[in-house]
Structure 1
Amino acid sequence: MTLGLRESRTRERRQRRGRLLKWLFLLGCIAAGGVALYQSGASLAQGQIRQLQAETSKLSNAVAEEERRNLDLMASAEQAKLDAQEWQRRYERDVPKGPTQQLYALITQQLAAGVAVDRLSFLINAAGTGQSCENAPTTKRFLVKTLIAGETDYTVSSVTFADNAITIVGEGEPAINAANQPEAWFDPAKPVTVHFSRLGGETSKATAKLPLHHSVVLGDHEYRFTVTAGNSRGFVNVTADRCTFP
């Protein structure tokens, strides 16, 4: 009886020990799995951290590059502003204004008309000498020719001054009527070309909107002409004054 009881207790202890070993094994498996999962998660987290760090570095570089570009643009804008101010100063300093602008336009016009530079220089220098004018201007009128006016009586399409030593003729653009058709008379609002012919064949010309100013040197006198629109349609008035030269 005692032997059976002892065997029963021994068997029960073995069973408890077996169940304990099973639990320990199961707990070991669970612990090993947890460790493996932790290591896997940690590795994944480190990979994500490295990826985020790389993206952060990339974004930081992009921001730095954008800031550099903005600084370059600001520097370029500031330089452009300084350049514009410099050009404005040069324009205000170098571009003629007022009477100087009018004189520059007149010189340009005479050069375009073929007047020699040395002649213009001589006339400009001569203007500084004491000149006296008669201050007794004479006014005449003539008919301005146009391309569609046809032949015109020479006595009304030209005038002479200085005892017929200077002959003046001119042409202009036809006026346009309400039907958009050209008329036989010139348009006084548009530029005209006036020819000044000296006795012997030498001719100078001037082209400008009216009033037009021009001078002709004849011997020891300078004839100063002003051409304005006439009161009669198609005509201009020419006023001349004689001055000593030089």
Structure 2
Amino acid sequence: MAIGSKRSRERRRRNAQFAARAAKWVTVLAIFLGLGFWSYRTGLDLARAEVTGLEERIETQGNEIRDLHSRNAQLEGELRQSRADNAALQARYRRDVPAGDAAALFSLAQQRIAAGIPRERVEQVLRDAAPVRRCEARGTSRRFAIVYGTRIPENSGIELAEGLVRVVVSTANQTDEINRTANVVVTVAGQDPQTFTGLPQRQVVVLGNAELALSVTSEIRGFATAALTNCGS
């Protein structure tokens, strides 16, 4: 009877030890499972937070890119408008500001007005201007005395075309080489005098819209001859 009780106690003791060990391992396993679950949840939360942050950054950058595209389109529109305005301004400048021959003509008109010629007179001359026609019909031919010396009298030379053209021939000394040393001064009304050297001379004189041929020769000692064509009848 005592032996059976001892065995029963031993069995209960072993069962208790097994239960304690099992409880210990279950507790350890539960702890590890809890730690693993906590780590999983923590990692999941961190991943979700990181994903949320990335999504917010992507959305922010997307908004910035859209804003940049919008601003770029606006700047391109402003650039096109600026180019169009600049082209219109250049066209207006070319239209309003004379250049080339027109600029030279405008400058000449300003000079004449500054010299005291009424603006109305300058405008009238421009309105009356027409294509120049060459007149080659036989015209006036007159002989006049050559001036010797450096002093040129006011009444020297000869006038042609009713006083619109004046020709003076002079030389410093009386010489037989007049054809080489002669100074020929041609003055046309409204124009600056022109000086030529030597004889004979063949020049073109413009009076209004007519282009006349002027020739100056010397065939008699001490005299010169000036001939000017006309436009005929």
Q: Could you tell me the TM-score, scaled by structure 2's length?
A: 0.52
The answer to whether the 8 A contact 1:224-1:240 is kept is no
**Counterpart-to-counterpart distance in 2, 1:89 and 1:155:** 53
Query: 45, 51, 57: which one pairs with 1:55?
Result: 57
Q: 1:161 to 1:52 in 2, by over 3 A?
A: farther
Q: How far off its partner does 1:124 sit?
A: 3.5
Q: For residues 56-71 of structure 1, what are the structure 2 equivalents within 5 Å? A: 56-71=58-73
Q: 1:77 to 1:6 in 2, by over 3 A?
A: same
2:119 counterpart letter in structure 1: V
Q: 1:8 to 1:23 in 2, by over 3 A?
A: same
Q: Secondary structure at the match of 1:48?
A: helix
Partner residue of 1:225? 191
**Counterpart-to-counterpart distance in 2, 1:117 and 1:160:** 33
Partner residue of 1:82? 84
**Counterpart-to-counterpart distance in 2, 1:126 and 1:227:** 23
Q: 1:155 to 1:227 in 2, by over 3 A?
A: closer
Q: How far off its partner does 1:65 sit?
A: 2.0
**Counterpart-to-counterpart distance in 2, 1:44 and 1:68:** 36
Q: 1:123 to 1:26 in 2, by over 3 A?
A: same
Task: Say yes or no: does 1:41 pair with 2:43.
Answer: yes
Structure 2: which 5+ residue stretches go unaligned? Answer: 141-149, 164-186, 199-203, 209-233
Q: Secondary structure at the match of 1:224?
A: coil
Q: For residues 97-176 of structure 1, what are the structure 2 equivalents within 5 Å? A: 100-113=102-115, 115-125=117-127, 127=129
Q: 1:28 to 1:43 in 2, by over 3 A?
A: same
**Counterpart-to-counterpart distance in 2, 1:107 and 1:67:** 55
What do residues 82-123 of structure 1 show as CA deviations (whole Å, max 9, x unaligned)?
A: 234334543554454665444323223334445443342344
The CA RMSD over aligned residues, in Å, is 4.5
**Counterpart-to-counterpart distance in 1, 2:92 and 2:9:** 122
**Counterpart-to-counterpart distance in 2, 1:229 and 1:242:** 18
Q: 1:122 to 1:28 in 2, by over 3 A?
A: same
Q: How far off its partner does 1:46 sit?
A: 2.0
**Counterpart-to-counterpart distance in 2, 1:35 and 1:160:** 129
What do residues 144-188 of structure 1 show as CA deviations (whole Å, max 9, x unaligned)?
A: xxxxxxxxx8869xx9997x9xxxxxxxxxxxxxxxxxxxxxxxx
Q: 1:59 to 1:111 in 2, by over 3 A?
A: farther
2:24 counterpart letter in structure 1: K
**Counterpart-to-counterpart distance in 1, 2:57 and 2:207:** 90
**Counterpart-to-counterpart distance in 2, 1:50 and 1:160:** 108
Partner residue of 2:20? 18
- Give the fraction of aligned pairs with identical amino acids, expressed as a percent: 23
Structure 1 or 2: larger helix share? 2
Q: How far off its partner does 1:24 sit?
A: 1.1
**Counterpart-to-counterpart distance in 2, 1:58 and 1:231:** 89
Q: Secondary structure at the match of 1:225?
A: coil
2:31 counterpart letter in structure 1: C
**Counterpart-to-counterpart distance in 1, 2:123 and 2:191:** 19
What do residues 6-57 of structure 1 show as CA deviations (whole Å, max 9, x unaligned)?
A: 0000000001111111111111111111121122212211221222122212
Q: Could you tell me the TM-score, scaled by structure 1's length?
A: 0.50
Aligned residue-pair number: 165
Partner residue of 1:170? none
Query: 3, 6, 17: which one pairs with 2:5?
Result: 3
